[in-house]
Amino acid sequence: MIASRRLLIISLIVLLAACHSPSIVVGNTRIDDPAMRERLILGQSDKSDVYLSYGQPEAVFYSNDQSGQSIWVYSRQVESAASVNSVPFLNLVAAGYDIDSKYLQAIFNLQGKLIEIATNEDSGFVNQFSFSVGAGKPKYEEDGAVPVQSEMESFNLPFQPSRLEK
């Protein structure tokens, strides 16, 4: 009797462990590191300092007004299996992934000095029928972003094509 209970408990533990799905991290994890932000000084740090802290941005925007501001955008998503995935039968129609996103915007003045760092976070659910790795990543080109390569070249910073969305 005791042996069968132990076998049942061990079987349940193994079964539950097999159901666990690891999280997938997509994007720039340096935006979560407070030490990277502490290295930067508003009004003094420039684009090369931000590049050293966070690397190449995912997207670059320029304001349409007279301010001449530019914005470098970074993001990170953590994608993990939703808890509903472990519910029998319900997982056939409602399974999916939870996506927690964080965005960082480094905002520069006309002289290229850092004037603000803004962050925001959001989370959501992606149904299994529409999920693929990186499904939550924004498509900046549609929002009027300038080519990152042009920005890197104009400030003599290394450009890494592999760091951009495919």
| Burial class of residue 106 (count of CB atoms within 10 Å of its CB; 0-12, 13-18, 19+) | buried
Q: What range defines the domain where residue 157 resides?
A: 22-163
Buried b (16+ CB within 10 A) or exposed e, 47-69: bebbbebbbbbbbbbeeeeeeeb
Quick: pLDDT tens for 60-77: 999 888 888 999 999 998
Place of tokens 């003599």: 156
Per-residue pLDDT at 140 = 56
More confident residue, 146 or 27: 27
d(CA 104, CA 102): 7
Percent of the chain with pLDDT over 90: 37
| 101 found inside a domain | yes
More confident residue, 89 or 61: 61
Rounded to 5 degrees, what angle do the CA atoms 72, 45, 63 make? Answer: 35
Of the candidates 65, 85, 58, the residue with the CA atom closest to the CA atom of residue 145:
58
More confident residue, 153 or 13: 153
d(CA 126, CA 100): 11
Predicted confidence band of residue 5 (pLDDT cuts 50, 70, 90): low
For the chain, what is the domain count?
Answer: 1
| 75 found inside a domain | yes
Predicted confidence band of residue 81 (pLDDT cuts 50, 70, 90): confident
| 90 found inside a domain | yes
| 6 found inside a domain | no
Place of tokens 């005791």: 2
| 7 found inside a domain | no
Please, are residues 33 and 76 in contact by the beta-carbon 8 Å criterion?
no
| 4 found inside a domain | no
| 12 found inside a domain | no
Q: Quick one: how far is CA 154 from the chain centroid? A: 26
Q: Which of 47-61, 67-81, 109-123, 142-156 has the lowest mean pLDDT?
A: 142-156
Element (H, E) at 54: helix 47-54
| 15 found inside a domain | no
Distances (CA, A) of 120 to 34, 141, 144, 158: 15, 20, 20, 27
Quick: pLDDT tens for 91-118: 556 667 778 899 999 999 999 999 999 9
